[in-house]
Amino acid sequence: MVDVCIIGAGVVGGMIAERLSKYELSLTIVDKGGDVALGATRANSAIVHAGFDAKEGTLKARLNVRGSQMMEETCKRLGVKYKRNGSLVVGFSDEDRETLKELKARGEKNGVTGLELLDREQILKIEKNIGDSVTCALLAKTGAIVCPYELCMAAVGLAMDNGAALKLDFDVVKIEREGEGYRVISGTGESVLAKCVINAAGVHSDDIAALVGDESFTVHARRGEYMLLDKECGRLISHTVFRCPSKMGKGILVSPTVDGNLLLGPTAEDIDDKSDVKTTAEGIAKIRASAAEQVSGVDFGKVITSFTGLRSVGSTGDFIINSPTDNFVNVAGIESPGLTSAPAIAEYVEGMLYDMGITLSEKQSYISERRPTHYFSSLTNEEKNEIIKEHPEYARVICRCELVTEGEIREAIRTNPPPRDIDGVKRRTRATMGRCQGGFCTPSIVEILAEELGIDYEEVTKLGGKSYINIGKTKSGD
């Protein structure tokens, strides 16, 4: 029997695992996906929200502000890129100006510092490409950006370095009481017996809660579509530029990413199907119209990809973090600002386990830090040459758009949590993420993956399942 089983390897489950891995606890993380970070954590705006948006007095507001305060140190420790670029919520009318005043007041009640109302002249001094019809803005100096899936992978990886087990392709379909604990059972009949279960299953967290008889809340999906632009456009603005919020959320944003691209989106559409991640012509049109008003000079010809994320909208309007039955914890309805709040959610859940009487004694051998994911590219030429002398594979560039070397790809495949397919390599190294979207480097990555995983060339997939890249040889022989 393990001490804790965490259902869901998104940023929330990952940060909880990482937090608990410093204690003498046996941990197993299970996820129905073929990799970590495949849910909302893969596709979101990547903003560390300052904390002025959530309603004062809610758990969401409290954990947002605390998470924002913890994020810089967390990213440093986990070797994840973080940039405090500040954010601007822009308004176009007197009515918007009133909303911005309310947001400022709410932020201050929530404990957010560094909030300022700006008029157009002041905005132009810090953001010269702001849209022509923008008249006012709320500046949040503590706003920041991160890479969400990098954060999740680093957290799960560090938890694994500290002994946690990760079981992928583990779709939880049943949970039974067994003695003092729970048997968590997958669709294929595999199971994990655990003293304590943490439900961090994102948009499916209500389905998991129902497996232990808790039907006190529901979660529905709200689709958000995005467009990502080439790095050539990444310097158009330096702040994250939000639109004045509406009932459906924070509205469309225009933001640089930590990797230097420009991100536009998301839309907001409530849907019934919790797996519907298509992008639509209407969604893309909405994003274009809003982004062009917020920022001047967005070059829509430089879009390199589009994608969709699903928000987990809980029925209570707040984060649902509770224990409906002995040693079972729900971490549900974690919509935005869930990424920002993740370190604080982990801290909160740690406190709940302590209150439940679970012994939390610190490990002597705890590893508290992780080497930065993209450390090689940040080295000086002299430092790179030192590594290349011993490992010439670091001199062979595989992805020319993002300048990713064979050495980095091989290293990523050998690092926790190891990738199993092309998209897994992409999220860890950025190979295939550039302008050509893998047009040139995919065959080389297939070869490296096949060699590292000890599988046949034809068995390599793009994103698990039957998404094979090659369907057979065109020539036989040696």
Ligand X SMILES: Cc1cc2nc3c(=O)[nH]c(=O)nc-3n(C[C@H](O)[C@H](O)[C@H](O)COP(=O)(O)OP(=O)(O)OC[C@H]3O[C@@H](n4cnc5c(N)ncnc54)[C@H](O)[C@@H]3O)c2cc1C
**Residues of the shown chain interacting with ligand X in the complex, contacts defined by CB under 6 A:** 7-13, 30-33, 38-41, 44-47, 49, 170-172, 200-204, 208, 224, 266, 309-311, 334-340
- Minimum Å gap between C-beta 195 and ligand X is 19
The CB density around residue 456, as the number of other CB atoms within 10 Å, is 9
Find all residues with CB under 8 Å of 128, minimum gap 6, and list them.
none
- Minimum Å gap between C-beta 101 and ligand X is 23
Nearer to ligand X, 336 or 405 (CB): 336
- Minimum Å gap between C-beta 362 and ligand X is 25
Nearer to ligand X, 337 or 434 (CB): 337
Structure tokens belonging to residue 387: 């590594």
Which of these, 24, 4, 40, lies nearest to 165 by C-alpha position? 4
CA–CA distance, 401 with 39 (Å, rounded to integer): 26
Which of these, 4, 357, 1, 324, lies nearest to 196 by C-alpha position? 4
- Minimum Å gap between C-beta 187 and ligand X is 8
> Given 49, 204, 239, 374, which residue is catalytic?
49
The CB density around residue 180, as the number of other CB atoms within 10 Å, is 10
Helices (H) and strands (E) in the chain, counts: 12, 22
Find all residues with CB under 8 Å of 418, minimum gap 6, and list them.
424
Nearer to ligand X, 344 or 448 (CB): 344
* Buried-exposed string 371-380: b where 16+ CB fall within 10 A, e elsewhere: ebbbebeeee
Q: What is the CA radius of gyration of the chain?
A: 23
Nearer to ligand X, 140 or 399 (CB): 140
- Minimum Å gap between C-beta 306 and ligand X is 13
Q: Tell the residue number behind the tokens 């050495």, with chain if given.
A: 407
Structure tokens belonging to residue 106: 């709410």
- Minimum Å gap between C-beta 87 and ligand X is 10
Nearer to ligand X, 60 or 374 (CB): 60
The whole-angstrom distance between residue 23's C-alpha and the CA centroid of its chain comes to 25
Side chain identity at 109, as an amino acid letter?
K
Instruction: Output DSSP code: residue 418.
Output: P
Nearer to ligand X, 331 or 446 (CB): 331
Q: Determine whether 49 is an active site residue.
A: yes
Nearer to ligand X, 200 or 398 (CB): 200
- 3-class DSSP state for residue 445? helix
- 3-class DSSP state for residue 156? helix
Please list the residues that pair with 309 across neighbouring strands.
224
Q: CB–CB of 127/240 below 8 Å?
A: no
CA–CA distance, 309 with 332 (Å, rounded to integer): 17
Strands, E, within 24-94: which ranges? 27-30, 47-48, 82-83, 87-91
Residue 418 burial class via C-beta count within 10 angstroms: exposed 0-12, middle 13-18, buried 19 and up: middle
- Minimum Å gap between C-beta 153 and ligand X is 12
68 torsion bin: left (phi>0), alpha (psi -120 to 50), beta (else): alpha
Nearer to ligand X, 168 or 395 (CB): 168
CA–CA distance, 460 with 288 (Å, rounded to integer): 36
- Minimum Å gap between C-beta 252 and ligand X is 11
Q: Which residue is nearest to ligand X (CB)?
A: 338
- Minimum Å gap between C-beta 5 and ligand X is 10
- 3-class DSSP state for residue 470? coil
Nearer to ligand X, 7 or 422 (CB): 7
Residues annotated catalytic, as ranges: 49
